[in-house]
Amino acid sequence: MDQLLTPTELAVAGERMHRLIADVYPICRSITGDGIRQTLRRLREQVPLEIHEVPTGTQVFDWTVPMEWNIRDAWVKNSADEKVIDFRRSNLHVVNYSVPVRRKMSLAELREHLHTLPDRPDWVPYRTSYYQENWGFCLAANELARLQEGEYEVCIDSTLEHGSLTYGEYYLPGRRTDEVLLSCHACHPSLCNDNLSGVALVATIAELLSNVTLEYSYRFLFIPGTIGSIAWLAQNELQASRIRHGLVVACIGDSGKFHYKRSRRGNAEIDRAVVHALKYSGEEFEVRDFSPYGYDERQFCSPGFNLAVGSLTRTPHGQFPEYHTSADNLDFVAPQALAGSLAIYLSVLRILDNNACFHNLNPKCEPQLGTRGLYRALGGMADAGQFEMAMLWVLNLSDGDHSLLDIAERADLPFNLILRSAQTLADQQLLGRVSPTAI
Amino acid sequence: MDQLLTPTELAVAGERMHRLIADVYPICRSITGDGIRQTLRRLREQVPLEIHEVPTGTQVFDWTVPMEWNIRDAWVKNSADEKVIDFRRSNLHVVNYSVPVRRKMSLAELREHLHTLPDRPDWVPYRTSYYQENWGFCLAANELARLQEGEYEVCIDSTLEHGSLTYGEYYLPGRRTDEVLLSCHACHPSLCNDNLSGVALVATIAELLSNVTLEYSYRFLFIPGTIGSIAWLAQNELQASRIRHGLVVACIGDSGKFHYKRSRRGNAEIDRAVVHALKYSGEEFEVRDFSPYGYDERQFCSPGFNLAVGSLTRTPHGQFPEYHTSADNLDFVAPQALAGSLAIYLSVLRILDNNACFHNLNPKCEPQLGTRGLYRALGGMADAGQFEMAMLWVLNLSDGDHSLLDIAERADLPFNLILRSAQTLADQQLLGRVSPTAI
Amino acid sequence: MDQLLTPTELAVAGERMHRLIADVYPICRSITGDGIRQTLRRLREQVPLEIHEVPTGTQVFDWTVPMEWNIRDAWVKNSADEKVIDFRRSNLHVVNYSVPVRRKMSLAELREHLHTLPDRPDWVPYRTSYYQENWGFCLAANELARLQEGEYEVCIDSTLEHGSLTYGEYYLPGRRTDEVLLSCHACHPSLCNDNLSGVALVATIAELLSNVTLEYSYRFLFIPGTIGSIAWLAQNELQASRIRHGLVVACIGDSGKFHYKRSRRGNAEIDRAVVHALKYSGEEFEVRDFSPYGYDERQFCSPGFNLAVGSLTRTPHGQFPEYHTSADNLDFVAPQALAGSLAIYLSVLRILDNNACFHNLNPKCEPQLGTRGLYRALGGMADAGQFEMAMLWVLNLSDGDHSLLDIAERADLPFNLILRSAQTLADQQLLGRVSPTAI
| DSSP alpha helix (H) spans, C227-334 | 227-235, 237-240, 269-279, 297-300
Answer yes or no: is pLDDT of C4 > 80: no
Q: What is the dihedral of CA C336, C342, C346, C347, to 10 degrees?
A: 50
Residue A425 and residue A422: Cα distance in Å, rounded? Answer: 5
Q: Is A265 touching B (CB cutoff 8 A)?
A: no
Which chains sit next to B, with 3 or more Cβ pairs under 8 A?
A, C
Nearest-CA residue of chain B relative to C363?
B304
Nearest Cβ partner of B129 from C364, C378, C396? C378
Q: Do B298 and C380 touch (CB under 8 A)?
A: no
Question: What is the CB neighbour count within 10 angstroms for residue C96?
Answer: 27
Q: Is B385 touching A (CB cutoff 8 A)?
A: no
Question: What is the CB neighbour count within 10 angstroms for residue C59?
Answer: 10
Q: From chain C, pick out residues whose CB is under 8 angstroms from the CB of A382.
A: 317-319, 323-324
Residues whose CB falls within 8 Å of the CB of residue B320, separated by 6 or more in sequence, listed in order: B193, B251, B254, B256, B328
Q: Residues for chain B: how many in total?
A: 439
Residue C313 and residue C297: Cα distance in Å, rounded? Answer: 12
Q: Are strands A63-64 and A59-60 parallel, antiparallel or unpaired?
A: antiparallel
Nearest Cβ partner of B62 from C362, C377, C396? C362
User: Would you place residue B438 in the very low, low, confident or very high pLDDT band (cuts 50, 70, 90)?
Assistant: very low
Which chains sit next to A, with 3 or more Cβ pairs under 8 A?
B, C
Q: Do C264 and A363 touch (CB under 8 A)?
A: no
- With beta carbons less than 8 A apart as the criterion, state whether C335 and C14 touch: yes
| DSSP alpha helix (H) spans, C120-183 | 141-146
What are C216-250's pLDDT values in tens digits?
Answer: 999 999 999 999 999 999 999 999 999 999 999 99
Q: Is A241 touching B (CB cutoff 8 A)?
A: no
CA B294 to chain C, closest CA, distance in angstroms equals 9
Residue B150 and residue B152: Cα distance in Å, rounded? Answer: 7
What are B82-95's pLDDT values in tens digits?
Answer: 999 999 999 999 99
The amino acid at B253 = G
Q: Is B235 touching C (CB cutoff 8 A)?
A: no
What are C419-432's pLDDT values in tens digits?
Answer: 999 999 999 999 99
Q: Is A61 touching B (CB cutoff 8 A)?
A: yes
Q: Residues for chain C: how many in total?
A: 439
Q: Could you write out the DSSP letters of every residue in C233-257?
A: HHH-HHHHTTEEEEEEE-S-SSSSP
Q: Is C412 touching B (CB cutoff 8 A)?
A: no
Q: What angle do CA B403, B364, A67 make, to 5 degrees?
A: 135
What are C275-301's pLDDT values in tens digits?
Answer: 999 999 999 999 999 999 999 999 999
What are B148-182's pLDDT values in tens digits?
Answer: 999 999 999 999 999 999 999 999 999 999 999 99
H-run or E-run covering A337: helix A335-354
- The conformation of residue A170, written as its DSSP 8-state character, comes to E
CA C352 to chain B, closest CA, distance in angstroms equals 25
Q: Do C398 and B303 touch (CB under 8 A)?
A: yes
How many cross-chain Cβ pairs, A to C, lie less than 8 Å apart? 90
Give the residue-averaged pLDDT of C401-430: 96
Q: What angle do CA B15, B16, B22 make, to 5 degrees?
A: 90
The backbone torsions φ and ψ at residue A272, rounded to the nearest 5 degrees and listed phi first, read -70, -35
Residues 346-375 on A with a CB inside 8 Å of C are 360, 362-368, 370-371
pLDDT of residue C437: 56
Q: Is B298 touching C (CB cutoff 8 A)?
A: yes
Residues whose CB falls within 8 Å of the CB of residue C379, separated by 6 or more in sequence, listed in order: B127, B128, B129, B130
Nearest Cβ partner of C396 from B126, B127, B303? B303
Nearest-CA residue of chain B relative to C367?
B62
User: Would you place residue B437 in the very low, low, confident or very high pLDDT band (cuts 50, 70, 90)?
Assistant: low
How many cross-chain Cβ pairs, A to B, lie less than 8 Å apart? 91
CA A364 to chain B, closest CA, distance in angstroms equals 41
Residue C276 and residue C283: Cα distance in Å, rounded? Answer: 12
pLDDT of residue C376: 80
User: Would you place residue C3 in the very low, low, confident or very high pLDDT band (cuts 50, 70, 90)?
Assistant: low
What are C148-201's pLDDT values in tens digits?
Answer: 999 999 999 999 999 999 999 999 999 999 999 999 999 999 999 999 999 999
Residue C371 and residue B61: Cα distance in Å, rounded? Answer: 14
- With beta carbons less than 8 A apart as the criterion, state whether A296 and A226 touch: yes
Residue C439 and residue C435: Cα distance in Å, rounded? Answer: 7
Q: Could you write out the DSSP letters of every residue in A279-321?
A: HTT---EEEE---S-SSTHHHHTSTTT---EEEEESSPTTSST
Q: Do B379 and A130 touch (CB under 8 A)?
A: yes
Q: Is C321 touching B (CB cutoff 8 A)?
A: no
Q: From chain A, pick out residues whose CB is under 8 angstroms from the CB of B413.
A: none
Residue C108, SS3 per DSSP:
helix
> For a pLDDT cut of 70, what percent of chain B falls above it?
98
Residue C198, SS3 per DSSP:
helix
CA A417 to chain C, closest CA, distance in angstroms equals 16
The rounded mean pLDDT for chain B is 96
- With beta carbons less than 8 A apart as the criterion, state whether A209 and A1 touch: yes
CA C426 to chain B, closest CA, distance in angstroms equals 16
Residue C148, SS3 per DSSP:
coil
- Probe site for chain C from B30, B31, B61 (most C CB atoms < 10 A): B61
pLDDT of residue C382: 67
Question: Measuring CA to CA, which residue among B190, B125, B201 is closest to residue B329?
Answer: B190
Question: Measuring CA to CA, which residue among A301, A300, A280 is closest to residue A409?
Answer: A280
Nearest-CA residue of chain A relative to B401?
A303
pLDDT of residue B439: 41
The backbone torsions φ and ψ at residue C194, rounded to the nearest 5 degrees and listed phi first, read -85, 95
Q: What angle do CA C94, C96, C102 make, to 5 degrees?
A: 50
Answer yes or no: is pLDDT of B379 > 80: no
Nearest-CA residue of chain A relative to B367?
A62
pLDDT of residue A382: 67
Q: From chain B, pick out residues whose CB is under 8 angstroms from the CB of C393.
A: 291-292
Residue B374 and residue B345: Cα distance in Å, rounded? Answer: 32
Q: Is A118 touching C (CB cutoff 8 A)?
A: no
Q: Do C125 and A380 touch (CB under 8 A)?
A: yes
Calculate the CA B35 to chain-centre distance: 19
Q: Could you write out the DSSP letters of every residue in C7-76?
A: HHHHHHHHHHHHHHHHHHTTS---SSSHHHHHHHHHHTTTS--EEEEEETT-EETTEE---EEEEEEEEE
- Probe site for chain C from A360, A361, A364, A428 (most C CB atoms < 10 A): A364
Residues whose CB falls within 8 Å of the CB of residue A1, separated by 6 or more in sequence, listed in order: A209, A212, A213, A214, A215, A349, A350, A353, A354
- With beta carbons less than 8 A apart as the criterion, state whether A349 and A181 touch: no
Residue A235 and residue A151: Cα distance in Å, rounded? Answer: 49
Question: What is the CB neighbour count within 10 angstroms for residue C401?
Answer: 12
- B373 phi-psi bin (left φ>0, alpha ψ -120 to 50, beta other): left
Q: Do B382 and A128 touch (CB under 8 A)?
A: no
What are B186-211's pLDDT values in tens digits?
Answer: 999 999 999 999 999 999 999 999 98
Residues 31-60 on C with a CB inside 8 Å of A are 60
The radius of gyration of chain C's CA atoms, rounded to the nearest angstrom, is: 26
Q: Could you write out the DSSP letters of every residue in B362-398?
A: S-SS---TGGGT-S-SSB--S---HHHHHHHHHHHHT
Residue A103, SS3 per DSSP:
strand
Question: Measuring CA to CA, which residue among B199, B239, B192 is closest to residue B221?
Answer: B199
Residues whose CB falls within 8 Å of the CB of residue C400, separated by 6 or more in sequence, listed in order: C357, C358, C359, C434
Q: From chain B, pick out residues whose CB is under 8 angstroms from the CB of A30.
A: none
Residues whose CB falls within 8 Å of the CB of residue C88, separated by 6 or more in sequence, listed in order: C73, C75
Nearest Cβ partner of C392 from B130, B237, B292? B292
Q: Residues for chain A: how many in total?
A: 439
pLDDT of residue B254: 98
Nearest-CA residue of chain A relative to B411?
A291
Q: Is C130 touching A (CB cutoff 8 A)?
A: yes
- Tens of each residue's pLDDT in chain A, 439 residues: 766 799 999 999 999 999 999 999 999 999 999 999 999 999 999 999 999 999 999 999 999 999 999 999 999 999 999 999 999 999 999 999 999 999 999 999 999 999 999 999 999 999 999 989 999 999 999 999 999 999 999 999 999 999 999 999 999 999 999 999 999 999 999 999 999 999 999 999 999 999 999 999 999 999 999 999 999 999 999 999 999 999 999 999 999 999 999 999 999 999 999 999 999 999 999 999 999 999 999 999 999 999 999 999 999 999 999 999 999 999 999 999 999 999 999 999 999 999 999 999 999 999 999 999 898 877 777 667 899 999 999 999 999 999 999 999 999 999 999 999 999 999 999 999 997 754 4
Q: Do A364 and C229 touch (CB under 8 A)?
A: no
Q: Is A83 touching B (CB cutoff 8 A)?
A: no
- With beta carbons less than 8 A apart as the criterion, state whether A318 and A270 touch: no
Residue A335 and residue A333: Cα distance in Å, rounded? Answer: 7
How many cross-chain Cβ pairs, B to C, lie less than 8 Å apart? 90
pLDDT of residue C213: 94
Residue B193 and residue B328: Cα distance in Å, rounded? Answer: 6
Which residues on adjacent β-strands are paired with residue C171?
Answer: C219
Residue B110 and residue A232: Cα distance in Å, rounded? Answer: 91
What are C326-364's pLDDT values in tens digits?
Answer: 999 999 999 999 999 999 999 999 999 999 999 999 999
- With beta carbons less than 8 A apart as the criterion, state whether A151 and A51 touch: no
Give the residue-averaged pLDDT of C84-93: 98
Q: From chain A, pick out residues whose CB is under 8 angstroms from the CB of C60.
A: 365
Q: From chain A, pick out residues whose CB is under 8 angstroms from the CB of B364.
A: 61, 233-234, 237, 302, 304-305
